[in-house]
Amino acid sequence: MSPEKGWAGFADLPVWIEPELTGVVLACWCLGFALKKTPFVPDWTIVYAVTALAVALVGFSEGWSVRSAIRGILCGAFAVYGHQLVKQTRFRD
């Protein structure tokens, strides 16, 4: 964005989780769900496994770079956040 143009709204913001990465988020959500149902996997390790899968999938699909690692972390975080959002909305105290 150039200073002459001014703020044009959210169109100027970079898109970090593009629609092509929806499959990565879905795969992370499924992995997290499966690990949550597995009795011998501690809950605290699930977020690390989901993040590792996301970084690996984005790295393989886009090539290894800092940008792809960040995008993988964001995909994993989005999957965990989405799960928590559904869980907290559905099962309120």
Q: List, for residues 52-87, the tens digit of each pLDDT value.
A: 999 999 999 989 999 889 889 988 988 888 888 887
Residue 38 lies in a domain: yes
Please state, in angstroms and rounded to a whole number, the distance separating the CA atoms of residues 23 and 45: 22
Q: Give pLDDT, residue 1.
A: 44
The number of folded domains in the chain is: 1
Residue 12 lies in a domain: no
Q: Give pLDDT, residue 6.
A: 56
Residue 4 lies in a domain: no
Q: Residue 2's pLDDT band (boundaries 50, 70, 90)? A: very low
Amino acid at 46: I
Higher pLDDT, 93 or 53: 53
- The pTM score is 0.74
- 68: how many CB neighbours lie within 10 A of its CB? 17
